[in-house]
Amino acid sequence: MAEVLRDTLKTIDGYKNMNPHYEELLDILEEVLILREKHRRKVKEDIFNVDESLIEKKLAGGLPLVDFPGGKFDLEGPKEYFAALLEIAHKRALEETGEIIKKMKDGELNYIEMVRDSFTFQQDEDARENDDNEGIFDLLGFLVEESLRPALEVLSEKYRDIIAGSPWSEGYCPICGREPKISELREEGGKRFLFCGQCGFEWQFRRVKCPFCGNEDQQTLAYFTIENEEKYRVDVCNACNKYIKTVDFRKAEKRPNLDVEDIATLHLDILADEEGYE
């Protein structure tokens, strides 16, 4: 992992030179990745226990291995990582950090509850849109999600081969149930793999299919690219109005780090938003 981290940090330095307006975000990502690796090494046992006798049935039935809403987990390690991430945000003087720290001290925010809330998928959209603290919870959502990443990466590696040999064909992560953050085309035939930003897991998925609504109608599936950025594209679904960024590094010498690519392609998120996609 140390060698992978070194290569990733070199990639980040290269992107800083190419995209100066992303430099601050890439600086933060650099710190987060170093800290993530430190906390990942502290994970000595599975925090998110998986009943291995149910794995086959869960995967066949489209259920992720970790039951976040119903499970009971010792989150002291992730909570420690969360505090360290909050220190990075505070040091970087990110606008919402002070209020988050205050709410944590006052007891208005509880880490365990935030973790469970983040995995409650059926949320009231109107309530979220009208939430005066939306900006706070954008940063908060990232911090909570990232705080679980080291422990979930360990779990992802443990069950990677089992999942690869299973019939899993869903558009959400087989480990934690999150929707994909970005996707990648691999191998000569351009097999498509979805990437989960929550646990870092990647799984194969049909190329001509929307991961969010399952739409397979080629008339309502499309993509757009930007001139001189042939390795990037945005796949859109006009049935559910959602999009996912896709990277194609098949001609490159090394595989991409999709956490880094997600930051380096923020301009594609802006374009997709301007086109009315979510």
pLDDT tens across the length of the chain (278 residues): 678 899 999 999 999 998 888 999 999 999 999 999 999 999 988 899 899 999 999 999 999 999 988 888 999 999 999 999 999 999 988 888 999 999 999 999 999 999 988 887 544 444 444 444 443 337 889 999 999 999 999 999 999 999 999 999 999 999 999 999 999 999 888 999 999 999 999 999 999 999 999 999 999 999 999 998 989 999 999 999 999 999 999 988 788 999 999 999 999 999 999 999 99
Cα radius of gyration rounded to whole Å, the chain: 19
* Contact status, residue 139 vs residue 89, Cβ threshold 8 Å: yes
* Contact status, residue 211 vs residue 172, Cβ threshold 8 Å: yes
Angle at 213 between CA 120 and CA 178, to 5 degrees: 35
Which residue is it, tokens 């005066």? Answer: 132
The pTM (predicted TM-score) of the whole model is 0.91
Give one DSSP letter per residue of 15-68, joined into a string: HHHH-GGGHHHHHHHHHHHHHHHHHHTT--S-SS---GGGHHHHHHTT--S--T
Non-local (6+) Cβ contacts of 58 within 8 A are 64, 65
Query: 234 phi and psi, to 5 degrees?
Result: -120, 115
Token pair, residue 261, equals 């690519």
Beta strands in the chain (DSSP E): 182-186, 191-195, 202-205, 221-224, 232-237, 242-248
* Contact status, residue 155 vs residue 217, Cβ threshold 8 Å: no
The Cα 221–Cα 209 span in angstroms is 8
The Cα 260–Cα 247 span in angstroms is 11
Q: Which residues of 66-76 are buried (b: 16+ CB within 10 A; e: fewer)?
A: bbbeeeebebe
